[in-house]
Amino acid sequence: MIPIYLNRMSMKDRFRGKDFLTLMDFSPIEIDYLLKVSSQLKLKRMMKEPHEYLLGRTIAMIFEKNSTRTRFSFQAGIAHLGAQSFYATPETMQLARGEPIKDTARILDRYCDALVIRTFGQEIVDEYAAYMKNPVINALTDLVHPCQGLADLLTIREHKGDFKGLKLAYIGDPWNVCHSLMVVSSLLGIDCYVALPKGWNPNQRIIKFAEEHAAVGNSSMIITDNLSEALSKADIVYANTFHSMGHKDIEARKVAFAPYQINDETIKLADEKCIFMHCLPGYRGEEMTNSVIEGPNSVVWDQGENRMHTEKAVLALTVA
């Protein structure tokens, strides 16, 4: 519920010009508002109603890692909003010759109304944000994937209604997607179970944030090596790759994480009406079987679509 004193106008003012670097920077009320705007934009797209709220605006996109969903959902969404995007990889820019980020940032800020960036360290997106007046949008770092976290919430709400009291079980790399799920679960009252082999853990800063916020909202934030405990009666089963972009120890990870596969047997531990989610790209035969991703519980295509609607909401609200 949005408090009465936060009328539509004041909520919009809260977002204008704001960076979207991590969902840790947003309150549950602000996240709820982002989801409402996402749903409105999704409806407009379905009804083929024009929604060119960013006509004539320009959005820079720098991607230092590969992408299918994030790149195309942003570029399609930017076009729907009437703006234009400019996509580049760092090796095609003077960054490759050593031009500092702070110089690149200040120049892009003069041409473009926002920057969407996918890179490695969170400190890189933070540095762009420090040198740009216009919003910087995190399209994935090693630490977090806030665009994914927001789309995941919209998908959960569409399929399960409210968040409070739901149980989510995550298996896969304790990395960006896991971290954003822990953050949004703790903010919105979802009981979050992360099942990992012994010796593997999420980032300490994320654990601290998620445990503190789960305690405030009276929900659970459990990291366990017991897959059955995590999956038992879960409403949401979320799988992700065992080897994220940039990791070198791929074979060791496949071995360590293999007992955590979501397959026809393990998914039976979850609630029979559970939804199966995956940020994609997925590896059939590793974190899940073909039967699960193609099965009746899978909502992964809705989830992928929602990337576009939620990113459009972020842009429509933050671009001044």
What residue ranges bind ligand CP (CB under 6 A)? 67-70, 140, 148, 279-281
Between CA 310 and CA 265 the distance in angstroms is 33
Q: Could you give the string, one character per residue 28-67, with x where binding to ligand NVA holds by CB under 6 A and - elsewhere?
A: ----------------------------------------
Residue 315 sits at φ, ψ, to 5 deg, of: -65, -45
Which of 7, 45, 1, 6 has its CA nearest to residue 313? 45
- Residue 61 belongs to what H/E stretch? strand 58-63
Stretch that binds ligand NVA, among 7-15, 43-51, 240-248, 298-306 (CB under 6 A): 240-248
Q: Say whether residue 203 binds ligand NVA (CB under 6 A).
A: no
Q: Say whether residue 74 binds ligand NVA (CB under 6 A).
A: no
Specify the stretch interacting with ligand NVA by CB under 6 A; choose among 8-16, 34-42, 84-92, 174-182: 174-182
Q: Distance between CA atoms of 147 and 39, rounded to whole angstroms?
A: 15
Q: Which does 175 bind (CB under 5 to 8 A by kind): ligand CP, ligand NVA, none?
A: ligand NVA
Q: Pseudo-torsion of CA 297, 301, 306, 308, nearest 10°?
A: 170
User: 186 with 218: CB under 8 angstroms?
Assistant: no
318 binds, among ligand NVA, ligand CP, none (CB under 5 to 8 A by kind): none
Amino acid at 104: T
Pairing of strands 191-195, 167-171: parallel
Token pair 């531990």 in the structure block, residue? 269
Segment contacting ligand NVA by CB under 6 A, of 40-48, 175-183, 268-276, 304-312: 175-183
Residue nearer to ligand NVA on the CB measure, 11 or 178 = 178
Minimal distance in Å, beta carbon 177 to ligand CP? 7
Within 13 Å of residue 122, how many CA atoms lie on the same side as its CB? Answer: 17
* Residue 175 engages ligand NVA in binding (rule: CB under 6 A): yes
When CB distances are held under 5 to 8 angstroms depending on the partner's kind, the choice from ligand CP, ligand NVA, none that residue 104 binds is none
CA dihedral 146, 149, 151, 156 (to 10 degrees): -170
Pairwise CA distance, residues 147 & 22, whole Å: 9
Which of ligand CP, ligand NVA, none interacts with 240 (beta carbon under 5 to 8 A by kind)? ligand NVA
Binding test (CB under 6 A) with ligand NVA, winner from 38, 176, 180, 303: 176
- Number of residues this chain uses to bind ligand NVA (CB under 6 A): 9
- Crossing angle of helices 28-46/176-188, nearest 10°? 110
Shortest Cβ distance from residue 244 to ligand NVA (Å)?
3
Contact between 245 and ligand NVA per CB under 6 A:
yes
* Phi, psi (degrees; rounded to nearest 5) at 60: -85, 145
The least distance separating ligand CP from the CB of residue 23, rounded to whole angstroms, comes to 15
> Least distance in Å: CB of 88 to ligand NVA?
20
Starting at the edge strand found earlier in the chain, the sheet holding 114-118 runs 84-88, 58-63, 114-118, 136-138
Q: Which range in 86-94, 163-171, 200-208, 237-245 contacts ligand NVA by CB under 6 A?
A: 237-245
Which of residues 138 and 148 has its CB atom nearest to ligand CP in the complex? 148
Q: How far is CA 57 from CA 9, 26, 77, 84, 135, in A?
A: 21, 25, 13, 6, 13
Work out whether 277 is an interface residue with ligand NVA (CB under 6 A): no
- Cis amide bond preceding 281, omega within 30: yes
Looking at the Cβ atoms of 207 and 280, the one nearer to ligand CP is 280
Contacts with ligand NVA, residue ranges (CB under 6 A): 173, 175-177, 240-241, 244-245, 279
